[in-house]
Amino acid sequence: MKIAVCLKQVPDMESKFKIVDDKKIDESQIAFKINDFDNYAVEAALQLKEKFGGEVVIVTCGPDRAAKDIRQAFAMGADWGIHVMDPEVEAGDNFVVASTLQKAIESIGDVELVLTGVQAEDDQAAVTGVIMADLMKWPHCTNVKKLEVNGTALTVNRELEGGLNEVIEMSAPAVLTLQSGINEPRYPTLPGIMKAKKKRLDVKKAADIGATAKSKTDFIKMFFPVSEHKAEIIEGDAATAAAKLVEKLKNEAKVI
C-alpha cells in the first residue's frame, strides 16, 4: 500500500512566544518539532507498511527548517519525501496548503491512502485534510481513533463527544485525519537516524507541481488574549506557596 503522510513542523507550544508587528511570531526563541497529531499519522502509516508492504512518503509544506522534521520521520522509517518550500505557499491559508499538498501527492502517483493529523497544534484549524480529500474527490474521515485495513476496505472509529466512537466503513483511496492516542509513535533508532540522512527528499516550488491556488481568507492580525479572570498567583518558593495555597483552600475558598 502506498501511503502519503502530510506532516507539518510546528513550534513547541511551551516556547516563549513573542509577537512581531501584530503579524507573526518571533522565531528566534522558538524550538520546532513535528506536529504531535502528524506524528501519530507517521506511526500509523509505518504500521500499515509493516503489515502489508508498500511505501510511506512524507509530504510537507514549510520553510527550510522543516527538513529536520521530515528527516525525523525518515528516521522513524518513512521511505522518502516531498518538501514544498515556497514562500507563496507559506503565506497562504489552509486552502492553499491543502491544494499544494494535493498536487504533491498527485505527483507521487498511485497513492491509496493519505494520513495526517486531525489538526496542527499551531493554527488549530482542523480543515486541511478535509479540503484535500474534497480536491482529490476522495472520501474522508476526521478524528480517527482506530483504523483497520482489509484490501481497499477501511473500518475506522471516529471519535465523538464524551468517550463515544462511531464505527465507519469506507473504501480507499481516502484521506484520514488522526486523533492523538490512536497508537504509540516510535522513537527513531540510531541506525534509523543514520539511514535517514541518505533518504530521498525532493525539494519543490509550488509551480513545479502545478499548484496555483490562492487564499480564500485574509489574515488581519494576531495578539495575546486578554483574560477577564486571571488567577490569583500565589508567590514564594514551592514550600511557601504550597503552604499559602492550603491555607487559602481551607479558610478562604473553604473547599477542603
Site for other proteins in 159-218 (CB under 8 A): 159-171, 179-181, 215-218
In the complex with other proteins, the residue whose CB is nearer, 64 or 252, is 252
113, 173 contact by CB (below 8 A) = yes
Question: Interface mask (CB under 8 A) for other proteins, residues 70-99, using x and -?
Answer: -----------------------xxx----
CB of 222 to other proteins, least distance (A): 4
Angle separating helix axes 128-136 and 94-108, nearest 10 degrees: 50
How many chain residues touch other proteins (CB under 8 A)?
79
Question: Nearest to residue 7, comparing CAs of 31, 41, 30, 32?
Answer: 41
Which residues are CB-contacts of 43 (< 8 A; sequence separation ≥ 6)?
Answer: 76, 183, 184, 185, 186
In the complex with other proteins, the residue whose CB is nearer, 4 or 154, is 154
> DSSP assignment, residue 33?
E
CB of 101 to other proteins, least distance (A): 14
Q: Which of residues 13-42 bind other proteins (CB under 8 A)?
A: 13-14, 16-17, 19, 25
Q: Please tell me whether residue 225 binds other proteins under the rule CB under 8 A.
A: yes
In the complex with other proteins, the residue whose CB is nearer, 55 or 122, is 122
CB of 191 to other proteins, least distance (A): 26
Grid cell digits, residue 156:
475506522
Name the 3-class secondary structure at 92. coil
Beta bridge partners of 147: 156
Question: Interface mask (CB under 8 A) for other proteins, residues 120-159, using x and -?
Answer: -xxxxxxx--xx-xxx---xxxxx-x---------x-xxx
Angle separating helix axes 67-76 and 36-52, nearest 10 degrees: 40
